[in-house]
Structure formats: C-alpha cells, structure tokens
Amino acid sequence: MAPHELATSGDVKWIGEPPHQVIERSGRPLLPTEDPFYLPPRGFEHAAPGTVLRTREVEIAFLGVIPQRFTATQLLHRSNDLNRHADAAVTTVLTPTGTDPMTPVPIVSYQCAIDAVTDRCFPSYALRRGAHALGSFAQFELLLIAAILDRGWAVSVPDHEGVDGIWGAPEEPGYRTLDGIRAALNCDRLGLSRQAPIGLWGYSGGGLATAWAAEVSADYAPDLDIVGAVLGSPVGDLGHTFRRLNGGLFAALPGLVVTALSHVYPGLERVIDEHATPQGKEFLARLEEMPTLKAIVAMAFKDMDDLVDQPLDQLLETPEVQHVFESIKLGKTVPTPPVLIIQAAHDEIISASCIDELADTYCGGGANVTYHRDLLNEHMLLHPMSAPMSLAWLGARFTGETLPSGPRRTSWPLAFKPSTYFGLLKLGWLSAKVISGRSL
C-alpha cells in the first residue's frame, strides 16, 4: 500500500502522511480538471472530513500576472457533497508573516464569488501565478484577501463549488468551507492553533456559500470555534433571483445556476432535456465553459423564455423546478454563530426583500443577527464599501468584544460614515501594494 492510501475494507482511518509538493516557479498552472493534484488517493472516502490528502506550495499573483509575496499552501482534503457522499475539495491557505508564535492566529474563511461552472473561476486556479482566468471575480477579491492578511489573520479560500463547479447547490458549499478550515488546522506545516477563533466572510455568491456554512456549522462542524460570519448580499432565494434577473443585464447568472444544478437534480435535467430548444441546449453548454464576466456579456438581456418550447412561467411551476427552488433557499436552519448581514437597499441583482425575509427568519429562530441594510448603495459598490465594517466586526469577534446591545438593524449609508473612508484609504493603500507586487 502506498503511504497515502487506505485499506478499502472495514471502518478504517487515514493512516498516511499526505504528500507535499514544493513550489514550482515556471509554466502556466494546469486547470483543475487536468491537474492530478485534485484527484484524491484511493480509499480517501474512509478518512474523516477535513483530513488532508495532499499539499503543495503555490505562487499567488494578482490577475495571474503580478506575483505576490504571500506564503500560500493548497490542501486537497476530504469533504462531502450535497448528499453527504464523500468527495475531495481544495482550499488555498495564506498565512501572515511576523506574528507572535505564542499567540493563536485568527482564521478567516473567505468565500469568493465563484459564480460560474468553469474551473477557470475556482480560486485555487484563478489566484495562482500564470492563471488564465480573465473574467473571474476571485482575481479581484485577492485585494480583500490581502486586507485580511494585513490584519495578521490567516485566510482559507475554499473551492466551495467542488471540483464540478456546482454553483447554487445547497449545503455542500458549507461542508467544503468548514472542511477547508479543518484541513488548515490539521496541516501541521501551517502551524495554526485549534484555539484560534474562526470567522467566515463572503459576498454575493460568496455570501451564499458563507450563509450555508453558518447554517450547517452546528450540526456538521461543532468542533470549530466559529465566532462570527459576515454574509454580504447572500442571495437568500435563488428562485426569486432567477425570475428577477432573467431577461436583464445579469441574465447569465440564473443561466449559470440552471446549468450547474442540472448536474445534481435529475428532475431539472429532465425538464431541460425535454423542453430546451437545440439553441437553448447549445447555449447552456457554452455557459459551462465561460468565466463569469464573459458569461454576463454573452447572455446580457437574453430571455430564457426564448430557449424553451413552452412558456417559461409554466416550466417554472413544474414540480421538478419547484423542488429545486425550495431546496436551494436559505433559512432552513438558524445559524449558531453571530452573523452580520450586509445588503444594499437598491440592489440590482439581489432583492433586498429576500434578505429582509432571511434576516427575519434568522432572528425569529433565535440567531444573533446584526443587519445593515444600506439605503444608498447598490450591489457592486457595496462590497468594497462594506469591507471596513466587515473587517472591524470580525476583529471585534476575535477579541471577544460584547456584541452590540443597541439596534440590530441599521440603514444609515456607509458612504456617510467617516470610518468607511478611513478603512477605504487603508484598503486602497494595500491594493496599491498588491497591484505593484510589493510586500504587505
């Protein structure tokens, strides 16, 4: 038996030392679907979730071009899919420099807005030097990851859609996020402490993954000390979002979700097979290969009613589609960690009313919720604008500050708060360092 393999009979545990690859500084990285690093060893399913299966050092670069001086390690680890069947996932862990080795370093799991099916948008690929991932949101979110590192915190950046890029699937993004944190703690070479407080953060598609992690954490990962989760515009109701965006500028987003979910919901796949026109099937197949921004441009103002042979409203009311919409809606479980929800009142992508409903559901179930419903901002601008608030809130959770006892719902625009601009000035300075490739 190879040292990293398991016996395949009986209830056995992982018994081997995961192999490690040193950094490779030449050549373009392989896509995940072509990279053997992503293939788990035989018998991995017998390992506990969060078990490290393989590790490697990687170079990080802004937009794949400008090399960074971060220390980055990728971990292939055991996790679970939607049906709690074993699968393997990858997280990219970045650790700060110059920290006190006697003090546990806080850990933030940052969920990128992958929002695509293609593996070019997976953070484990898009963040690497030489990655050809133009149109991936993760490449721009490196600026916020750098801001986390600058705080002296470690960062786990999971491929929360899994190796198949199943965007929109319920619960499994949470499993992969939490198992990525477990893997980081289990990896001795990273030197992270199990006594370290853990925070979660994500926006839009990343906010959705973060919300799933917060919802499933008590049942799935009670061993993790999660002290807070920031849910930025977390797409509370994907079914509502589908109807809202279809035919508009961001019509690609519901198209990408349908394409991804057809791989895990046989009923939805059957509806597509029976009712999508040849042009519709061809277009959905093309979406699977497109980075997010390219898909948005290609499908702008396209109405999916034109891609099916029946009125779309009728198809959306079929039991198969309704089952999907119901199962992918947040709010089935109340998060146990405190949560900060951030939402723009004039959001052109995510309906504020859906996030209002989600906040009410969480509060009604006894969750500790702070909800900032910004009266001025829209979807895209609110992400960087809210970064100072998000970092400050996580910092307060890490230091054990008492949660605010005042109003839990605020709406005063962040654009009118001086603290926002102090935070943005620092974020701008850090961004300039990233863009120039200088050390943080």
β partners of residue 371:
341, 409
Phi-psi region of 364 (alpha: psi -120 to 50; beta: other; left: phi over 0): alpha
pLDDT at residue 189, rounded to an integer: 92
Look up residue 140 and give its two tokens: 């721009």
Mean pLDDT of 243-269: 94
| Cβ contacts of 398-403, under 8 Å, gap ≥ 24 | 398/106, 398/153, 398/197, 398/199, 398/227, 403/338, 403/368, 403/370
pLDDT at residue 11, rounded to an integer: 42
Question: For residue 109, is pLDDT > 60?
Answer: yes
Question: For residue 286, is pLDDT > 60?
Answer: yes
Question: Per mean pLDDT, which range of 87-91, 203-207, 279-283, 425-429 is the poorest?
Answer: 279-283
Mean pLDDT of 21-45: 90
pLDDT at residue 7, rounded to an integer: 35
Residue 419's CB: how many other CB atoms inside 10 A? 11
pLDDT at residue 406, rounded to an integer: 62
| Rounded distance between C-alpha atoms, residue 41 and residue 11, angstroms | 17
pLDDT at residue 4, rounded to an integer: 37
Contact yes or no for 200/170 (Cβ under 8 A): no
Question: For residue 1, is pLDDT > 50?
Answer: no
Question: For residue 23, is pLDDT > 90?
Answer: no
Question: For residue 220, is pLDDT > 70?
Answer: yes
Ordered structural domains, the chain, with CATH: 20-237+329-436 (3.40.50.1820), 238-327 (1.10.260.130)
pLDDT confidence band for 99 (50 / 70 / 90) = low
pLDDT at residue 102, rounded to an integer: 72
pLDDT at residue 6, rounded to an integer: 38
Question: For residue 10, is pLDDT > 50?
Answer: no
Mean pLDDT of 296-301: 93
Mean pLDDT of 114-125: 97
Q: Model confidence over 237-253: pLDDT tens digits?
A: 888 898 999 999 999 99
| Rounded distance between C-alpha atoms, residue 103 and residue 293, angstroms | 41
| Rounded distance between C-alpha atoms, residue 253 and residue 295, angstroms | 8
Active-site annotation, residues? 204, 347, 379
Q: Model confidence over 134-180: pLDDT tens digits?
A: 999 999 999 999 999 999 999 999 999 999 999 999 999 999 999 99
Question: For residue 293, is pLDDT > 80?
Answer: yes
Q: What is the three-class DSSP state of 263?
A: coil
pLDDT confidence band for 408 (50 / 70 / 90) = confident
Between these two residues, 112 and 102, which has the higher pLDDT value? 112
Q: Are strands 226-232 and 198-203 parallel, antiparallel or unpaired?
A: parallel
CA distances from 328 to 199, 203, 419 (A): 23, 17, 36
